[in-house]
Structure 1
Amino acid sequence: MTDAPLWVFGYGSLMWNPGFEPEEQVLARLDGFHRSFCMWSIHHRGSEEEPGLVLALDEADTTCDGVAMRVKDHERDAVLAYLRERELVSAAYVEQVHDLELRDGRKVPALCYVIERDHIQYCGGMELEQQAQVIAKAVGGRGPNTEYLYNTAQQLDAFEITDTDMNWLVTRVRQLAG
């Protein structure tokens, strides 16, 4: 992706807190991955002593709906540096480019942050109840894990993206967190 527009795929916190003002924002679908609380958070939403959980793109025979954000050309280098500092704080995410199908029919290559399954922070396959137990208690440098869950679910609702696991987790975590 040299002179082509830089698109970024948001499926979790990038949807509600991208950290930059996109030139364009369009609902999008990524094939071959799903949104999953499959990454231990030891920095932003948990600690090494009591890890939280954050979302990652995990390979799967399905699709993930989210939002494609086109970066303003003159901000490309700054946004890329910001995203790498934010998302690549450990080697748990791998920066990859994948084709997205935009809701308006266009297809664009986009920067995606995908979980590295061999990384120690990978925790794919965890039962929803266990996820809820972790999320209800964990707190990290960017705040409570519950905030991350609630903000992501709220943004999915605003975009009219259905995620049944997310909805279940919100209900259960509210019960646990009080």
Structure 2
Amino acid sequence: MWVFGYGSLVWKVDFPFERKEIGYIKGYERRFYQHSTDHRGTVNNPGRVVTLIPSDNPESKVFGVAYKIKEEDIDYVVNHLDYREKGGYERVSVLFYPRNNESFPFSIIIYLANHENPHFAGYADIKDIAKQVVKCSGPSGANIDYVLNLANSMRKIAPEEEDSHLFDLEKAVLALANS
């Protein structure tokens, strides 16, 4: 079994894995459209974290990290991630394309928060998302750290890729934090 990390799982892996691969999935866009009331915010002051939304372009790519789970760890990892991602996420199977091109695309599990879940925040202007991010914190830490860690990690694993939503939010958050 393989699990795809496109948010905090890119830099904060809290489960055992056998191997990891950098690559992407197609047909989605990474967006800060999910409220976090249990990790990067609270019920009274929800943070914003990423989910994937379907793209109008079936060839659009979302880069991240695929983690291969050992057979004996599958039940533990699935139970752990089901609990960790309980705030509106569901397991979905998609194709993963390794960046090294040595492997063929293969099936992978992603956790996806669709627009019908109760924590779906939906579209907002980048400046409004940034205002929400800088004032939120939860049991997993400050929401601003989530944004900055994700942007930094994406520059390291896929420096050639431009994720304008993520990088525009990073700029807006830093501008607010430094003002």
Could you report, residue by residue, the CA deviation over 1:126-158 in whole angstroms, capped at 9, with x for unpaired residues? 111111111111111111100111111111111
Q: How does 1:140-151 map to 2 (within 5 A)?
A: 140-151=138-149
Structure 2: state its 5+ residue gaps.
Answer: none
Query: Contact conserved, 1:156 with 1:162, CA < 8 A, in 2?
Result: no
Q: TM-score, normalised by structure 1?
A: 0.90
Could you report, residue by residue, the CA deviation over 1:83-116 in whole angstroms, capped at 9, with x for unpaired residues? 111112x3x1111111111113321111101112
Query: Contact conserved, 1:28 with 1:101, CA < 8 A, in 2?
Result: yes
Q: CA RMSD in A?
A: 1.4
Deviation at 1:74, TM superposition (A): 2.2
Q: TM-score, normalised by structure 2?
A: 0.89
Q: How does 1:15-34 map to 2 (within 5 A)?
A: 15-34=10-29
Query: Contact conserved, 2:48 with 2:143, CA < 8 A, in 1?
Result: yes
How many residue pairs match? The answer is 171
Is 1:127 paired with 2:122? Answer: no
Structure richer in strand, relative to its length: 1
Q: How does 1:52-67 map to 2 (within 5 A)?
A: 52-61=47-56, 62-67=60-65
Give the letter aligned to residue 9 of structure 2: L
Q: Counterpart in 1 of 2:171?
A: 171
> Distance between the aligned counterparts of 1:79 and 1:21, measured in 2?
7
Runs of at least 4 residues of structure 1 off by over 6 A?
A: none
Deviation at 1:63, TM superposition (A): 2.4
Equivalent position SS for 1:17: coil
% identity of equivalent residues: 29
Structure 1: state its 5+ residue gaps.
Answer: 1-5
